[in-house]
Amino acid sequence: MTLPRDYTGLSCSLARSLEIVGERWTLLIVRDAFYGVRRFGDFAAHLGVPRAVLTDRLATLTEADVLARVPGAGRREVYELTPKGVTLWPVVRALTCWGDEHYAEGGPRRVYRHAADDAPIAADGRCTRCELPVEVRDILVTPGPGLGPGSEDDDPVTVALSRPHRLLHPLRG
Amino acid sequence: MTLPRDYTGLSCSLARSLEIVGERWTLLIVRDAFYGVRRFGDFAAHLGVPRAVLTDRLATLTEADVLARVPGAGRREVYELTPKGVTLWPVVRALTCWGDEHYAEGGPRRVYRHAADDAPIAADGRCTRCELPVEVRDILVTPGPGLGPGSEDDDPVTVALSRPHRLLHPLRG
DNA sequence: AGATTTTGGTTCACTCACCGAACCGTCACG
DNA sequence: CGTGACGGTTCGGTGAGTGAACCAAAATCT
């Protein structure tokens, strides 16, 4: 995507952001990384993204210092969010909230809670009970009312996310 | 963009949002709408987007009830954000902030201020002085330190935005 | 250790979206 | 009544996304 490589506002921050996370599939990949997905196959299975595209996106994100390839358990390399990548959470959060607000018929599919007191987190990122902004690592993803019953042939990621799970914590070794 | 029309998580809110605002150019168009751009030619000139693509995006956004075609001054039709479209502000804001944070060398190009007290607005959308969340209509776009000097051949939109301007307020009749 | 399966990609042909330039009818204005 | 601005549409060329097949290295099993 050569989007704004020649865009007039070279210094336009929105365009700069979109150069990196504005391509097809990219933000879904980043969201999965927040959910704890770290392996190539898990991204592919959970998102249904063509493997060639996934290869390209992971390379772009790694290049941009949003993800990093690090040795995982069993000496296999895995992809992990960098500190810079973690600062993308408000973006993922804002888009998800907008979708929930306007397109979630039976309520949101996932509800985010403050791990410390289990209270849901508001759209602005503050805990509804203690009213403090919640750190990304202290956010719990929990199944919401809009999440249907899991079926037998769900991929491992979907299965793992049917139970509460802490953001950024690896879904599997 | 057929992104997640067949996406497994039909009810995934992030994917639903990206179906609408995830296409190339779309969010830049929406941002310009917040800035008060309302005419076809102004979007085209300011963004440099191919006119055929612009036609397609405006139709998609209108279809999705993010923009609306309304009669403007001089009985010419113009595009305006709907209430649903206005709720996209946190998305635009989050992406812009991320870009500012990581790619704005000389500081942000635009600074958002609370019209009531002229104090800058923090990343979470609250005024740094009164600490209250600021309504979109009460946000002032002002030139920031990263904004270079305007040149003669700037398009009307760029020129108009070189002075403080209230969000959603039409840039021209 | 050797065989087998899983994993993390690559390759390839195909289609479709994007690009940029030219073109065109309508509306506003002198 | 002519002229230019405006809001699109049309069209050929190109690059990106798609899905299936293929492949080598790593992990697992016997």
Question: Strand D contacts (CB < 7 A) among A residues 78-97?
Answer: none
Residues of A in contact with B94 (CB under 8 A): 90-91, 93-94
- Between B75 and A41, the more confident residue is A41
The reply to whether A75 has its C-beta less than 7 Å from any atom of strand D is yes
The answer, yes or no, to whether residue A133 has pLDDT greater than 70, is yes
Residues 6+ apart with CB under 8 A from B72: B38, B39, B78, B170, B173
Q: Binning pLDDT at 50, 70 and 90, where does residue A3 land?
A: very low
Chain A residue with minimal CA distance to B94?
Answer: A91
- Between A2 and A27, the more confident residue is A27
| A118-125 mean pLDDT | 95
pLDDT score, position B106: 87
φ/ψ (deg, to 5) at B77: -75, 140
The answer, yes or no, to whether residue A1 has pLDDT greater than 50, is no
Cα–Cα dist A1/A115, whole Å: 38
Size of interface A-B (CB pairs under 8 A): 140
pLDDT score, position A148: 78
CA-CA distances (angstroms) from residue A166 to A33, B31, B66, B124? 12, 33, 33, 22
Average pLDDT, chain A: 91
pTM, two decimals, is 0.94
Within 13 Å and on the Cβ side, how many CA atoms surround B136? 21
The answer, yes or no, to whether residue A5 has pLDDT greater than 70, is no
- Between A10 and A131, the more confident residue is A131
Contact B95 A14 (CB under 8 A): yes
For residue A114, the distance in angstroms to the closest alpha carbon of chain B comes to: 18
pLDDT score, position A95: 98
CA-CA distances (angstroms) from residue B27 to A89, A134, B93, B94, B96? 18, 27, 11, 12, 11
pLDDT tens digits for range A15-37: 999 999 999 999 999 999 999 99
Task: Evaluate whether B137 touches B145 at the Cβ level (below 8 Å).
Answer: no
Contact B92 A14 (CB under 8 A): yes
Q: Which residue is nearest to nucleotide D10 (CA to C1')?
A: B52
A150: helix, strand or coil: coil
- pLDDT by position in tens, chain B (length 173): 444 444 455 568 999 999 999 999 999 999 999 999 999 999 999 999 999 999 999 999 999 999 999 988 777 889 999 999 999 999 999 999 999 999 988 899 999 999 999 999 999 999 999 999 999 999 999 999 988 777 766 788 999 999 999 999 999 86
pLDDT tens digits for range B76-93: 889 999 999 999 999 999
Chain B residue with minimal CA distance to A45?
Answer: B8
For residue B104, the distance in angstroms to the closest alpha carbon of chain A comes to: 7
pLDDT score, position B130: 95
Residue A106 tokens, joined: 């039976």
| A102-126 mean pLDDT | 94
Cα–Cα dist B124/B131, whole Å: 10
pLDDT score, position A6: 44
Task: Evaluate whether B161 touches B168 at the Cβ level (below 8 Å).
Answer: no
Task: Evaluate whether B41 touches B54 at the Cβ level (below 8 Å).
Answer: no
pLDDT score, position A38: 97
pLDDT score, position A105: 85
| A48-66 mean pLDDT | 97
